[in-house]
Structure 1
């Protein structure tokens, strides 16, 4: 199939899912508007991707870039070889199966890929890495990575590494970010580079230099707390043009 070219790159955005209750009496998908808004502002055309693992390749034939979002979920520890499972871990297995299939397919195509928060964690696992299952239990004197203040405000700073795609995009050595996670990258896979770290040592960003654009950030740049957040989306969309 020949993909129709448009002036705006088609950016696939993964959805979160919830069981019946709350917004609907039936199971429902959800995504914050600012995910799509950030893509549109950067020059892309956002396309939302329901969880159909068997159709992952079909989706990938139609989009130009992939963004794996965050959400109220954790990656199953069995997927990164853990023998235990922390009591706080809450998985959404169909979502993870779908996103993992998309991520592997995007990497095989060298398609621009951006993982945000839980999306970074999933990306790290797909690339052969592992995760901290619960930061307060594994990181001494950890910061409040589940910040109490609103997500459109900064929770802490991150330091960007000198020789990285992320630093070249953001143009800063230190930047304030929001924080909404209890898990984090533990070990990275082969060929994966850590590009951002919080003051307590928690890994806040990763990238895979062997690919055209493969970037993960632990915070939520779609809230555009700083110009660097907006620059991340512009670089992502530009890589798909």
Structure 2
């Protein structure tokens, strides 16, 4: 039986460090967990003009995180926080391929920054800098290693996420300064941090459309493995 092909979006970096030319980057654990759940990972260079060709070959899409932000103009903001850093070609590609995968009703999993972009695509807006907008905010940029939990989230009963993880509380890792804010009529909030920050979203118009603010690819809990398993399983269906 053939394995479901799971596209994973790459990060992009300017010259320096690994190479004196522009280069792509992807943490190995993104691919490892897809393989561990029975999928075949395929890294996706940022080629907006070839989105249709990618989509025709993919069974599922992981939109990854990174140390950058969604351009505030994409969700109608008229101001831009000083901390905002964008990667415009990457975001354009990820936006195009996510919209195309959803239009084809193929499974999409947004992780961290990928969840934020998915939120915007579904009609939501973003908090541009949590410390400036959330009173008594948790350390969403956790100081301890990403292989450990930074805080807990409360899972909303009856949601896709709740059916997947089978618990109402999940310990998660955390590495973000932005977060989902206003929602559209189609967005379902499926997880909240103790300070009220949105930690997970979904849209039940689609076969599998899920975003989580944390990094389940680190597999710090049984819930993380169940999320990856469910996504790859939906992609194989």
Tell me, yes or no, whether TM beats 0.5.
yes
How far is 1:83 from its partner? 0.5
Cα distance in 1 between the residues matched to 2:113 and 2:150: 17
Q: After TM superposition, list the pairs within 5 Å mapping 1:1-241 onto structure 2.
A: 7-241=2-236
Q: Secondary structure of the equivalent of 1:216?
A: strand
CA deviations over 1:210-238 (Å, ceiling 9, x no partner)? 11000000000000000110000100011
Cα distance in 1 between the residues matched to 2:122 and 2:159: 18
Cα distance in 2 between the residues matched to 1:86 and 1:144: 19
Q: Which runs of 5+ in 2 are unaligned?
A: none
Q: Secondary structure of the equivalent of 1:187?
A: coil
Cα distance in 2 between the residues matched to 1:227 and 1:98: 32
How far is 1:110 from its partner? 0.5
Cα distance in 1 between the residues matched to 2:66 and 2:24: 11
Cα distance in 2 between the residues matched to 1:131 and 1:77: 8
TM-score, structure 1 as length reference? 0.97
Cα distance in 2 between the residues matched to 1:219 and 1:192: 18
Cα distance in 2 between the residues matched to 1:46 and 1:138: 37
Q: Partner of 1:3 in structure 2? A: none
Q: Secondary structure of the equivalent of 1:197?
A: strand
Cα distance in 2 between the residues matched to 1:37 and 1:52: 24
Moved over 2 A (4+): none
How far is 1:26 from its partner? 0.8
CA deviations over 1:116-142 (Å, ceiling 9, x no partner)? 000000001111110000000000000
Cα distance in 2 between the residues matched to 1:45 and 1:28: 23
TM-score, structure 2 as length reference? 0.99
